[in-house]
């Protein structure tokens, strides 16, 4: 972490000591976790404090930690045996497993335009069956569509939202596509019925199958030393 980020962390701690917990971030950014019941108070402080001034909400994204820590694919190495690259699900999971009240979370990406600083705030939904959080639309107007997207794709409800409707899926869509227990082939499909002369819904006809992802690994052909050596040889 840079000195500038650490200075920001000290200011956040001075205003919100006891109400937020600093958590590690793989991207080297400043990230805090707050309880759901503290969300609105914490958000107002982050926006209004003179030495924080996070006046811009850049994004709101849902997160589903259902299979967090469990490996689905071996992507650092591969064999020529095709589908055997998939991890054996009968083997013990490498992660600690899902803890109650820790399945769904919402991440708020904040920007201070006037002070040129960023912060991520993460809040977990206490109920794993019916996840919900209070809406921050009254604090940051840009949250309106972001919260609708998180509701549509993850099924997270935002209490007090002025118009919480689906945003990306169809009006009659059932389920939430970004939940990790949502079937990859979906539940229904749409087709045009020439006899009825209209679009109809029907049970999905795609057969489930295992997809083998592209394996990304080091390739010696693109090694910088070899490339530089080739350039020198050409001269």
pLDDT tens digits, one per residue of 92-118: 444 456 788 999 999 999 999 999 999
Structural domain count of the chain: 1
Inside any domain, residue 181? no
Instruction: Convert the pLDDT of each residue in 4-35 to its tens digit.
Output: 899 999 999 999 999 999 998 877 789 999 99
Inside any domain, residue 3? yes
Inside any domain, residue 196? no
Cα Rg of the chain, angstroms: 23
Residues 6 or more apart whose CB falls under 8 angstroms from that of 221 comprise none
Find, among 194, 151, 196, 147, the residue nearest to 169 by Cα.
151
Inside any domain, residue 31? yes
Inside any domain, residue 198? no
Inside any domain, residue 51? yes
Inside any domain, residue 49? yes
Inside any domain, residue 42? yes
Find, among 182, 56, 148, 160, the residue nearest to 109 by Cα.
56
Report how far residue 117's alpha carbon sits from residue 11's, in angstroms, rounded to the nearest whole number.
12
CA distances 114 to 55, 60, 174, Å, are: 8, 21, 42
* Structural domain boundaries, residue 16: 1-66+104-166
Q: Residue 28 maps to which CATH number?
A: 3.30.460.80
Of the ranges 16-30, 34-48, 69-83, the best mean pLDDT one: 34-48
pTM as predicted: 0.77
Find the mean pLDDT for residues 89-94: 48
Of the ranges 12-21, 69-78, 97-106, 198-207, the best mean pLDDT one: 12-21
pLDDT for position 99: 85
């Amino acid at each position: 972490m840079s000195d500038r980020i650490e200075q920001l962390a000290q200011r956040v701690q001075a205003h919100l000591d006891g109400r937020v917990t600093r958590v590690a971030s793989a991207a080297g950014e400043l990230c805090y976790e707050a309880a759901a019941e503290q969300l609105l108070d914490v958000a107002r402080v982050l926006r209004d404090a003179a030495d924080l001034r996070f006046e811009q909400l850049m994004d709101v994204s849902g997160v589903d930690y259902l299979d967090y820590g469990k490996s689905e694919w071996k992507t650092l190495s591969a064999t020529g045996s095709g589908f055997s690259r998939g991890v054996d699900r009968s083997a013990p999971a490498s992660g600690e497993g899902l803890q109650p009240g820790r399945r769904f979370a919402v991440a708020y990406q904040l920007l201070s335009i006037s002070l040129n600083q960023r912060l991520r705030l993460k809040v977990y939904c206490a109920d794993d069956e019916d996840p919900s959080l209070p809406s921050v639309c009254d604090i940051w107007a840009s949250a309106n569509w972001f919260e609708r997207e998180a509701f549509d794709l993850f099924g997270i409800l935002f209490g007090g939202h002025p118009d919480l409707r689906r945003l990306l899926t169809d009006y009659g869509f059932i389920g939430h596509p970004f939940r990790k227990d949502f079937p990859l082939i979906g539940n229904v499909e749409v087709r045009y019925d020439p006899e009825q002369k209209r679009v109809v819904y029907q049970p999905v006809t795609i057969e489930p199958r295992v997809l083998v992802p592209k394996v990304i690994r080091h390739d010696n052909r693109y090694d910088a030393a070899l490339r530089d050596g080739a350039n020198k040889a050409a001269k």
